Amino acid sequence: MKTISQRKKQPELVRRLLLDCAMKLALEHGPSGITVQAVAEAAGVTKGGLFHHFPSRQALVEGLFADLVEKLDADIDANMAKDPRPRGSFTRAYVGATFDDPVLGEGNPGAALYVSALAESSVRGRWADWFASRLERHRETDDTPILEIVRLAADGAWLAHLMREDGGVVPDLPALRERLIAMTLAD
């Protein structure tokens, strides 16, 4: 079997493969499962090949988190494009993406990384920068106290669900989502 390094060079495909393998390892073993050796082996590349794309384990974790945020961003943009009401459209899309996140269902491809991000200042900084840029971009339509409360409530529901004990009480998430969406329409 040929390794990636023996095949025609396709840097974007190799980078994507490394991120996919890192995600799979995070799902199977938690954030600690994302080691340079394990990701390189899973992707069929040398450590040097991995370091070509990600100069450190930290850069790999940040790349993985950036990938998750990019997917979130695309989901929010797609939901906003379908929303006929500009006022509050970012907040409604954000609530939708938050409540559609698999962490609120069974199994989440990014839960381990989201949780680890709480402890990683560089990853937290990336999230804060992304969120601040989105808020700035949608200031005209989503800059009211009620809409801020709705976004914070969605974050709180997501985090509370993630941090609950197995078998713990699960709130009626569809009803909560509907109440939050209704708040954006009344603002």
Domain harbouring 33, CATH code: 1.10.10.60
CB 162 within 8 A of CB 111: yes
Q: What is the pLDDT of residue 29?
A: 80
**Number of domains comprising the chain:** 2
Q: What is the pLDDT of residue 8?
A: 62
Which residue shows structure tokens 């560089």?
122
Residue 57 has pLDDT above 70, yes or no: yes
Same domain for 51 and 62, yes or no, is no
**144 contact partners, CB below 8 Å, separation of at least 6:** 187
Same domain for 123 and 167, yes or no, is yes
Q: What is the pLDDT of residue 121?
A: 77
Same domain for 86 and 156, yes or no, is yes
Same domain for 61 and 47, yes or no, is no
Which residue did the predictor score with more confidence, 61 or 37? 37
CB 110 within 8 A of CB 71: no
Same domain for 24 and 93, yes or no, is no
Same domain for 19 and 83, yes or no, is no
- Of the residues 55, 80, 97, the one at which a domain ends: 55
DSSP code of residue 33: G
Which residue did the predictor score with more confidence, 64 or 177? 177
- The whole domain housing 13 covers 1-55
Entry field: residues in the chain: 187
